[in-house]
Structure 1
């Protein structure tokens, strides 16, 4: 299996090389020369996700240096539950795929733990890889947790000042060595721009042994495609009807992962992506033009992305494989959906999951009744208690993993949104 850049000017890479480098040398994103399909006769939706993922991802790793390590990587990464639950008995067609039972309470735990397990096997303790990650909320916490205590990789997390929740900031800044948190004077797009600029400076990238843990890294998307396939196959096995999927979408990694699973043969029915008020993807869906813009702040802050990186991967797929719809959900609709569903059933969505729940609610009655629907619930509501509790009027209890974070010490450093300032911060940390 070889991987090529979406921009077509980089030499082909192996999977390990694509994971190691994150972005391709020409600034594009790695995609396989062909989308592989697993042996579906060997895939059992009733086995734990770790065993399912090892079988599902086998063709991606065939012949690669990491091939023999894949079962261990999956076992290390997927050691927490991934339940499909009924959030409201009055809506029998609706299931919530709860992706927030990992150690940092968000779906990013899947990709971060899988990717860091790969890095630990690719890296060299005498010259560790350096993960540089931009985060609008959840990615950085998951990467920090997955990196803490490792010796063949270190991590620097960039997050936008004043644009993450109070708990998210705690979760971004509480990890010990070899993790460093930098608070950028800007928005998420500024953080992402800094990361891209560092990678595009090849001498700098090589000197610092940079690699990426954002969803620009193919190693982030593969485990997400695995849980997508596992969930829809569970639903399909019971009903024999391809379930529809509603997924929150910011940087487009989640949405693309469901597309990727479907392209590999998973029984994914209609795919509906829910964005917040950042309307780049919605406008593309409506008029066919992709026009990145500055991000705007919303209640669903981990989705505050005006230039979704994975759009390059979306349009790299054949047109027949790009079938999806996009729904835009603003803050008012997020608030109303959280309140309405809590009052109806007691179930609490985080603001991001509420975007997807609202998109589902906007489907016609016939569409909802036509098939099962899975809503990707991407983060535990406790992470956004300061937003949700005033809406519902009810306290949210912290799960044990998140409660433990409250007692950790924190550390962060402020940096301006300039590449030279980022490099100075990184080099000072490395030298220290």
Structure 2
């Protein structure tokens, strides 16, 4: 499999080169040159997640240095549960796909673990490690830090916006041992993301530090995320005879694009609905057909506080009509849905999951009844205890993995949002 740039001005590369580069030389994002095609029957003998991941991802890593290690990478990256929990608030309530049972309590654990194990398979030199740089609006950085800890030949630099994430999230970003470095940036997530792109666009800086990305712009992040959507969709289709609809809370569009690509490759997925917060870029695009990035707005669902979603470039690269609806949910409605869900079912959702639950209830009743719907639950609610606990009126217990995080010492550096400042931090 070869990869092309969405902007069409860069040479074709294999998966290993696309993974190392992160972003194409022309500033575009890498896309597979062709889409493999599957049928549901192709996965009949892969009931577990690692086996399904290896089967689904095999064409995407064919003829690359990663291919021989793909099965072991998937076995390690998908070694925690991903349960589908029925929310029995109505006769045909949605299923909640809990993506937060990994070591940092967020769906980003799947892609981050895959990415760093793929880097290890590429045989990075400890004398000249690859510097994996990531901008995070909340959960990505914690997953990257955890995944990078102890991986030879890598260095992880995590940029996060000062004052824009929950206290637990900040601690989780800053508690990992070298070669992980956390950097608190004076600015919002888009400023952090712009810094990452500016660093990649500086040939000398990128070459000197062997830069690559761990954001969902990397093929090593969004490709493995296809797996859990595929597993849930295959199981629901087998149970009901109808491909399920997906409702995905989204900010930078990586998780949503993974579902779109899985469907394009033949996985039985029905309509895809995006749930967003007060950041209006995607809802305005869907309503008008015009895309216009803008500054991000801080919300309770802070991991979705993205004003210029990077993966929109990939979505626009496909044929139109991939997304059925984009439903925007404000902070007051997030709180109301958190409370209503808890009162009706006892289920405790994080603010991001609550946006998707609200989007489900916004759909026409007949549309909801026509198929099973799957809600993407992207983070453990305990990571947002300051928001969730006052709404539901009771404490949210930390799972053991997250409890262990609090026992670690946090450390980070502070910087203004400028490329010279970032270059100084990279130079050490």
Q: 1:89 to 1:46 in 2, by over 3 A?
A: farther
Shift of 1:367: 1.0
Runs of 5+ in structure 1 lacking a partner? none
SS at structure 1 position matched to 2:27 = coil
Q: Alpha-carbon deviation of 1:46?
A: 6.2
The number of residue pairs the alignment matches comes to: 427
Shift of the alpha carbon at 1:76?
1.0
> 1:188 matched to which residue of 2?
189
Name the structure 2 match of 1:352.
352
Q: Which residue of 2 aligns with 1:154?
A: 155
**1:317 matched residue in structure 2:** 318
- Corresponding position: 1:338 with 2:338: yes
The separation in 2 between residues aligned to 1:273 and 1:63, in whole angstroms, is: 34
Comparing 85-94 and 2-11, the one that deviates more: 85-94
Q: Distance in 2 between matches of 1:354 and 1:328?
A: 12
SS of corresponding position for 2:222: helix
**Which structure 2 residues correspond to residues 29-428 of structure 1 after superposition, within 5 A?**
29-38=29-38, 40-44=40-44, 47-122=47-122, 123-319=124-320, 322-428=322-428
SS of the residue corresponding to residue 57 of structure 1 reads: helix
CA distance in 2: counterparts of 1:87 and 1:46, whole angstroms: 26
Please, which runs of 5 or more residues in structure 2 have no aligned partner? none
3-state SS in 2 of match to 1:246: strand
User: Is the Cα contact below 8 Å between 2:277 and 2:329 reproduced in 1?
Assistant: yes
TM-score by length of 2: 0.98
Provide the C-alpha distance between the structure 1 equivalents of 2:41 and 2:192, rounded to a whole number of angstroms.
43
**4+ runs deviating over 4 angstroms:** none
> What residue number does 1:21 align with?
21
Q: Cα deviations across residues 195-247 of structure 1 (Å, max 9, x unaligned)?
A: 00000111210110001000000110111111111111111011111101000
* Distance in 1 between residues matched to 2:85 and 2:185, nearest whole Å: 38
Q: Is contact 1:285-1:325 (8 Å) kept?
A: yes
Match of 1:36, SS state, is coil
Q: Distance in 2 between matches of 1:110 and 1:328?
A: 26
Could you tell me how far apart the structure 2 residues matched to 1:256 and 1:354 are? Answer: 20
Counterparts of 1:386 and 1:95, CA distance in 2? 26
Which deviates further from its counterpart, 298-307 or 124-133?
124-133
Counterpart-to-counterpart distance in 1, 2:336 and 2:91:
18
Per the alignment, do residues 39 and 68 of structure 1 end up closer, same or farther by CA in structure 2, a change over 3 Å counting?
Answer: farther
Q: Counterparts of 2:45 and 2:402 in 1: how far apart (Å)?
A: 29
Distance 1:60 1:46, change over 3 A: closer
RMSD of aligned Cα (Å)? 1.1
Query: Is the CA contact (8 Å cut-off) linking 1:86 and 1:92 kept in structure 2?
Result: no
Deviation at 1:92, TM superposition (A): 3.0
Please state how far the C-alpha of 1:40 moved relative to its aligned partner: 4.3
SS at match of 1:181: strand
Does the 8 Å CA contact 2:39/2:266 hold for their aligned counterparts?
no
Q: Deviations over 1:13-33 (max 9, x none)?
A: 101110111110111100011
In the alignment, is the contact (CA less than 8 A) between 1:182 and 1:412 conserved in 2? Answer: yes
| TM-score normalised by structure 1 residue count | 0.97
Larger mean Cα displacement after TM superposition, 361-370 or 380-389: 361-370
